[in-house]
């Protein structure tokens, strides 16, 4: 994985909970089928318009609610490149990292508009808004988390370490 993620912003507000991200009435479906309904409570066209690498941008408390992995899994299935939010619910944040979906906190996320072209440097902690010519500080992802994301998540990361005999 590149330390840089580039994509078009899809912006949302505060308190986007896991029931909005992955509506519970579709929990019995496969992740691929449930992904068709991701964000549908507030944006019925989300799954059709998001393109591989696009970046979901939100305000405070993104991913609050239940601890089920379905929410980040549906976004990863849709090939969302990263999520930028002012603040994440901790369980969602860790679930996203565990499945290899980059997430960064950015106090100025509300300056980003729907459709802005973004470039995120995950290690330097910078969101570059190419549309506006602005940069915003964001949290960084340390090398060991980048390696985990690069492997596709925690399970593939551990499998790689076992295969290489480097697990501690």
| pLDDT value for 168 | 63
**148: in domain:** no
User: Positive or negative CA dihedral for 66, 68, 17, 148?
Assistant: positive
pLDDT at 145: 92
Q: Is residue 53 a part of any domain in this protein? A: yes
**Inside any domain, residue 154:** no
10-residue block means of pLDDT along the chain (168 residues)? 87 97 95 97 97 98 91 97 97 95 97 98 95 97 91 91 83
Is residue 24 domain-resident?
A: yes
Assign 3-class secondary structure to 114-164. CCCEEEEECCCCEEEECCCCEEEECCCCCHHHHHHHHHCCHHHHHHHHHHH
The number of domains in the chain is 1
pLDDT of residue 105: 98
- Is 135 inside any structural domain? yes
The domain in which residue 63 lies consists of 4-140
Confidence at residue 58, expressed as pLDDT on a 0 to 100 scale: 98
Whether 80 and 55 have beta carbons less than 8 Å apart is answered as yes
Please give the Cα distance from 105 to 89 (Å, whole number).
11
Query: What's the predicted TM-score (pTM) here?
Result: 0.94
Report yes or no on 51 lying in a domain. yes
- What pLDDT shows up at residue 2? 62
Token digits of residue 60? 């405070």
Question: 46 near 91, Cβ under 8 Å?
Answer: no
């Amino acid at each position: 994985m590149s330390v840089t993620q580039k994509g078009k912003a899809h912006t949302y507000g505060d308190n986007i909970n896991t029931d909005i991200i992955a509506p519970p009435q579709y929990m019995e479906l496969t992740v691929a089928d449930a992904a068709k309904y991701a964000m549908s409570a507030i944006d019925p066209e989300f799954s059709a318009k998001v393109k591989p690498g696009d970046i979901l941008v939100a305000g405070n408390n993104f991913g609050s609610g239940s601890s089920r992995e379905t929410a980040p899994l549906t976004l990863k299935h849709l090939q969302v490149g990263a999520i930028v939010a002012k603040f994440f619910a901790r369980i969602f944040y860790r679930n996203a990292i565990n499945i290899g979906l980059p997430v960064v906190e950015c106090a100025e996320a509300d300056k980003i508009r729907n459709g802005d072209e973004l470039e995120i440097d995950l290690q330097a902690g910078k969101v570059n808004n190419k549309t506006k010519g602005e940069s915003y500080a964001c949290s960084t992802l340390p090398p060991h988390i980048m390696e985990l994301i690069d492997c596709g998540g925690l399970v593939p990361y551990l499998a790689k370490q076992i295969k290489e005999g480097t697990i501690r």
